[in-house]
Structure formats: C-alpha cells, structure tokens
C-alpha cells in the first residue's frame, strides 16, 4: 500500500544498518538534501554539530549500572552486554536485565538533564528481544521523564528544525560544555548575550 506521507518530502535523514558506512553516506545525503544523520558508531552526551554539512546525531555513551564502562544508548548494545549474542536468553534473567536497561537510560537522561542539557537519543529496534524487556525499558523511561520541566519528546526532524532556528553562537557555547559539565555561573549567566563593546552616550566603551 502507499505510504501515508510524501516520502520525498518527509525523508530528511536516517541511520545506516549496524551504524556502518557514515563517511560514504554523508556526501550522498548532502546531495539529497538530508538534514541529519544518526549513523555515527558512537558519540558522547554533548550538543551536536554538523558533519559535512549534515547534523550528526549519534547514539551516546551512557552509564551502565554495575559496571565502570558505558554502553551506547540503544537496546542492542545493552543486550550485547547482558546476553551476548542471544535474543532469547533464559527468562529468569529478564527482571534484573529490564531494571538494568531502564536504569541505564534514566542515568543517561539524568546526567544530561542536571548538567549540560545535551539532547538524549535512544535507539530502539522495536523487537521482542529477551521477552521484550528493552521495549519495556524505553517505555518506562519515557513515562518517567516526559513530565519533567523543560523536557520535550520530539522527532529528529523536529529537533533539527529547532537547531536550525537557533543562534549559531549559542549552539557553539553549548557544544563547549563537556559530558556532565554544568554551565559556569548557571544557565541565565551562561546564555546571557555578550555585552556590546560600544559605549553609550557619554560613557566609554567597555574594556
């Protein structure tokens, strides 16, 4: 059946299978007018930048409860650290793994929410792997974060629309914040426009 939207107009980005081939994709994506790509093999919880003229929206390293290393913010990467290459592991593992996956997503969200406010991306295959525990983890996470102040759950298209409408100087400042770094002096001071160097009538210019 026909798709319920105009494919040529609505397709403005995507993610390659297995997060492979971004460098080959980007030149073609730019020619096609794509505005974002989510195929990076791994990123950090920082504000995004453009790569070859296309917004680069990578999966992000997030805390993995019970371990010192981080995992990418996607169901399969969590699965690979729980049941290795099995999508139907013994079911007695499911409750603990479901909790661990949920806590991982929530920890990633909370770290950004309390510090640099970087956008939080979750990759999900909509599969019933290991009894559907990763779908459960995403659903629980979204329910817990959706009503927090200043939080918006949006599509990549909506997000890049917002990015393109921002002052590039402000985005550059946001990109300067490291993972888990709060803005110096608080958000009001951090985002306050720089004072003009021109003096007002009867006053010298600021130095």
pTM given for the model: 0.90
**CA-CA-CA-CA torsion for 169, 45, 107, 131, nearest 10 degrees?**
130
29 domain-assigned: yes
72 pLDDT above the threshold of 70: yes
DSSP string, 117-178: ------B-----GGGGHHHHHHHHHHHHHTTSTT-----HHHHHHHHHTS-HHHHHHHHTSP
Query: Is residue 207 in a domain?
Result: no
Residue 144 lies in a domain: yes
Kindly state whether residue 199 falls inside one of the protein's structural domains: no
18 burial via Cβ count (<10 Å: 0-12, 13-18, 19+): exposed
- Of the candidates 51, 31, 157, 47, the residue with the CA atom closest to the CA atom of residue 39: 51
* Structural domain span for residue 141: 7-158+166-177
Q: Give the pLDDT mean for 107-123.
A: 98
- Is residue 100 assigned to a domain? yes
Q: What is the mean pLDDT of residues 128-133?
A: 98
Segment 147-180, tens digit of pLDDT: 999 999 999 999 999 999 999 999 999 999 999 9
pLDDT for residue 206? 45
- Number of compact structural domains in the chain: 1
Quick: pLDDT tens for 140-154. 999 999 999 999 999
Specify the 3-state DSSP secondary structure of 81: coil
Q: Determine contact, residues 13/38, Cβ cutoff 8 Å.
A: yes
- Locus of tokens 């803005």: 183
- Note whether residue 101 is domain-resident: yes
pLDDT (tens digit per residue) in 131-141: 999 999 999 99
Cβ pair 45, 22 in contact under 8 A: no
Do the Cβ atoms of 101 and 95 come closer than 8 Å? no
User: Cα–Cα distance between 152 and 70 in angstroms, integer?
Assistant: 25
Angle at 16 between CA 175 and CA 59, to 5 degrees: 35
Contact 61, 72 (CB under 8 A): yes
171 falls within a domain: yes
> Do residues 67 and 107 lie in contact, with contact meaning Cβ atoms separated by under 8 Å?
no
Q: Does residue 128 fall inside a structural domain?
A: yes
Confidence of residue 92 (pLDDT cuts 50, 70, 90): very high
Question: Rounded distance, CA 19 to CA 182, Å?
Answer: 30
């Amino acid at each position: 059946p026909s798709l319920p939207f105009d494919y040529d107009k609505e397709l403005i980005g995507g993610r390659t299978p297995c997060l492979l081939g971004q460098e080959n994709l980007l030149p073609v994506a730019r020619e096609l007018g794509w505005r974002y790509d989510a195929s990076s093999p791994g990123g950090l919880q920082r504000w995004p930048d453009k790569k070859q003229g296309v917004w680069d929206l990578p999966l992000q390293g997030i805390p993995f409860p019970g371990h010192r290393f981080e995992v990418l913010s996607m169901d399969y990467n969590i699965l690979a650290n729980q049941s290795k290459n099995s999508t139907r592991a013994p079911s007695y593992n499911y409750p603990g793994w479901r909790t661990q996956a949920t806590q991982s997503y929530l920890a990633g969200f909370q770290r950004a929410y309390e510090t640099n406010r970087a956008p939080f991306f979750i990759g999900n295959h909509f599969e019933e792997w290991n009894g559907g525990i990763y779908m459960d983890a995403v659903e629980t996470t979204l329910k817990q974060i959706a009503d927090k102040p200043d939080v918006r759950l949006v599509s990549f298209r909506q997000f890049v629309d917002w990015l393109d409408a921002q002052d590039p100087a402000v985005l550059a400042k946001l990109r300067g914040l490291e993972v888990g770094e709060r803005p110096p002096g608080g958000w009001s001071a951090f985002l306050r426009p720089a004072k003009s160097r021109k003096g007002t009538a009867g006053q010298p210019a600021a130095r």
